[in-house]
Amino acid sequence: MTATAPAASATARPTRIEPGGIESIPADKRHGSPWQLLATWSAPNLEFATVFVGFIGVAYFGLGFWQAIAAIVLGNVLGGASQGILSTWGPREGLAQLVLSRTAFGLRGNILPAAINTVMAGLGWFAVNSVSGALALATLTGMPAWLALIIIVVLEVALAFVGHDLVQIFERYASIVLGVIFVVATIAVFANPVTGHAIATHSGFSFGGFTLTASAAFGYAAGWNPYASDYSRYLPKGASRTKAAWAAGLGNFVSCTILMAGGAAAALIASPKAPSPTDAYVSGMPSWIGDVTLVAIAVGAIAANALNVYSGAMSFLAAGAKIPFALRRAIIALGFGILGFVIALIAVLNEAFSENYENFLLVIAYWIAPWLGVVFVDRILRRGTSIAEFIPEKARYRNPAGIIAFVVATVVSIVLFSNQTFFSGVFVKLTTPNEKFAISAIGDLTPLVGFVLAGILYLILFRAFRPKLGGPIDQEPDLVVGVDAADDVA
């Protein structure tokens, strides 16, 4: 049995570029409190992309305000709960989320989910949030959108380049400032004389619209799930799991729900002639509150994308990429920032934010839900056992059950239930009226089907393939070595 890890004595070093890549965090570098995760998972949601989820539930999916709120709460409860659970996994081994995923998928099988998250986080989410931040800054200052985009991207990438400690401190203070501003903005939306009347008189419900909105809300809230332990892995090994779960889960749920509710209300009073989604959101506010909110939207995009770029780089390394540089994580973050800027610039120039964002939210949920089904069942089956022997690069651990369950569940759920402007599943086509802008009677059940099917398949395949289980958890070493493909680089 190994000795209990010593209490963490390290302090945050926000001005130092974080070296290395995805190595396990040793005990003498652990620091922080579980409650810091409340700010970590509040700040990145305090931005316009969150608001827009509520907006589309009313404006595009045809729900009344209270029906949209019900769907939003359902999606956010599920996304927040999974965020809280996953955040408890980081302190035990001090490992990033997509590294921990290796037990369920094996070293090679894990390349697929790690690669998907690399693209979604480092490029997809980065582009989405950069666009919303740039549009807000452009609206406020009158500068060209492309120039505003450059300013936003430079600040985002600078935070991610320096690393974990600077990101955590920025999120802490941003959560306070942005929280106050967005609460005031939300109050301003509801205080508009037109809002109360619109809520009382505008009603609408369809099961299809409800599941589309709930899936979009889940896709947003759960979009942070593959990063969860990236920001809890520096906590001391003995940190309270209960506190970590509540802090991360509540931070995610409360921030998402408040802003999405404001977005749903804003959709009822927004000017249809607004030149951009951000203009539409602030159009019903007093001018000074609108201006301050635009500043908050720009800063919120930076808060969100600092995490997206950082975790995108972590996922890239978790896929097994060997980058022989001591600052490999920082270098990769810089590269993703450049690529993400190009994608965001194309979106700005094409002016197709609304439709692309709706599709993106649903696609996020399409892969995360099956991934969650696999990793949750895997964790249950491995309870009380060590995973340290299966995580290292040289272990070459294999577990075909994970990748098979993930791929089958993802493909089946998309083929049957996907509801996209560019692709509709079999059952969606069968239940969609032959009318322009019609919504399928079942909406989008892809995440639900994907999660359940992946979990069931993994349970069956795990028993069939019988992958190795580790020894007793109390014999797990304090530090897992050889995790990064370039661990030999100082």
The DSSP secondary structure of 352-402, one letter per residue, reads -HHHHHHHHHHHHHHHHHHHHHHHHHHHHHTTTB--TTTSSGGG--B-HHH
The DSSP secondary structure of 267-291, one letter per residue, reads HHH--TT-SSHHHHHHTTS-HHHHH
Give the pLDDT confidence score for residue 339 in this predicted structure: 87
R_g of the chain, CA atoms, integer Å: 22
The answer as to whether 141 is a domain residue is yes
Give the pLDDT confidence score for residue 436 in this predicted structure: 66
Q: How confident is the model at residue 222 (pLDDT cuts 50, 70, 90)?
A: very high
3-state secondary structure at position 100:
helix
Give the pLDDT confidence score for residue 58 in this predicted structure: 92
Of 203, 205, 253, residue with least CA distance to 75: 253
3-state secondary structure at position 419:
strand
Give the residue carrying structure tokens 């907006």: 55
More confident position, 92 or 488: 92
Q: 299-350 pLDDT, tens per residue?
A: 999 999 999 999 999 998 888 877 777 778 888 888 888 888 888 888 777 7
Give the pLDDT confidence score for residue 49 in this predicted structure: 83
Q: How confident is the model at residue 8 (pLDDT cuts 50, 70, 90)?
A: very low
Give the pLDDT confidence score for residue 321 in this predicted structure: 77
Q: What is the pTM of this model?
A: 0.91
Whether residue 414 is predicted with pLDDT greater than 90 in this model: the reply is yes
Whether residue 407 is predicted with pLDDT greater than 90 in this model: the reply is yes
3-state secondary structure at position 69:
helix
CATH number (domain holding residue 301):
1.10.4160.10
The answer as to whether 144 is a domain residue is yes
Of 248, 204, 195, 198, residue with least CA distance to 70: 204
Give the pLDDT confidence score for residue 268 in this predicted structure: 87
The answer as to whether 485 is a domain residue is no
Q: Domain total for the chain? A: 1
Q: What is the rounded average pLDDT for all residues in the chain?
A: 88
Whether residue 218 is predicted with pLDDT greater than 90 in this model: the reply is yes
What are 394's two structure tokens?
Answer: 């040289």
The answer to whether 281 touches 48, Cβ cutoff 8 Å, is yes
Whether residue 12 is predicted with pLDDT greater than 80 in this model: the reply is no
Give the pLDDT confidence score for residue 4 in this predicted structure: 45
* For residues 36-46, average pLDDT: 96
Give the pLDDT confidence score for residue 9 in this predicted structure: 56
Number of other residues whose CB lies within 10 A of the CB of residue 198: 18
* For residues 161-166, average pLDDT: 92
| Rounded-to-integer distance, Cα 140 and Cα 127, Å | 20
Q: 365-387 pLDDT, tens per residue?
A: 899 999 999 999 999 999 999 99
Instruction: Average the pLDDT over each of 20-29, 166-175, 184-193, 346-355 and give the range with the smallest value.
Output: 346-355
DSSP 6: P
Give the pLDDT confidence score for residue 437 in this predicted structure: 65
* For residues 32-44, average pLDDT: 96
* For residues 5-19, average pLDDT: 71
* For residues 47-51, average pLDDT: 87
AA letter at 43? A
| Rounded-to-integer distance, Cα 208 and Cα 362, Å | 14
β-bridge partners, 385: 472
Whether residue 214 is predicted with pLDDT greater than 80 in this model: the reply is yes
The answer as to whether 490 is a domain residue is no
Q: How confident is the model at residue 5 (pLDDT cuts 50, 70, 90)?
A: very low
Whether residue 3 is predicted with pLDDT greater than 60 in this model: the reply is no
Whether residue 229 is predicted with pLDDT greater than 50 in this model: the reply is yes
Q: 56-112 pLDDT, tens per residue?
A: 899 889 899 999 999 999 999 999 999 999 999 999 999 999 999 999 999 999 999
The answer as to whether 35 is a domain residue is yes
Q: How confident is the model at residue 485 (pLDDT cuts 50, 70, 90)?
A: low
The answer as to whether 482 is a domain residue is no
3-state secondary structure at position 192:
coil
User: What is the extent of the structural domain holding 31?
Assistant: 27-475
| Rounded-to-integer distance, Cα 378 and Cα 401, Å | 10
| Rounded-to-integer distance, Cα 475 and Cα 58, Å | 53
Instruction: Average the pLDDT over each of 1-10, 101-110, 411-420 and give the range with the smallest value.
Output: 1-10
The answer as to whether 331 is a domain residue is yes
**Which stretches of 142-286 are DSSP H helices?**
145-162, 164-191, 193-201, 207-221, 241-269, 277-282
First-to-last alpha carbon distance for the chain, in angstroms, is: 29
The answer as to whether 483 is a domain residue is no
The answer to whether 283 touches 144, Cβ cutoff 8 Å, is no
What are 267's two structure tokens?
Answer: 């959709």
Give the percent of the chain with pLDDT over 90: 57
Of 216, 268, 224, residue with least CA distance to 73: 216
Number of other residues whose CB lies within 10 A of the CB of residue 383: 7
E strand or H helix at 20: none
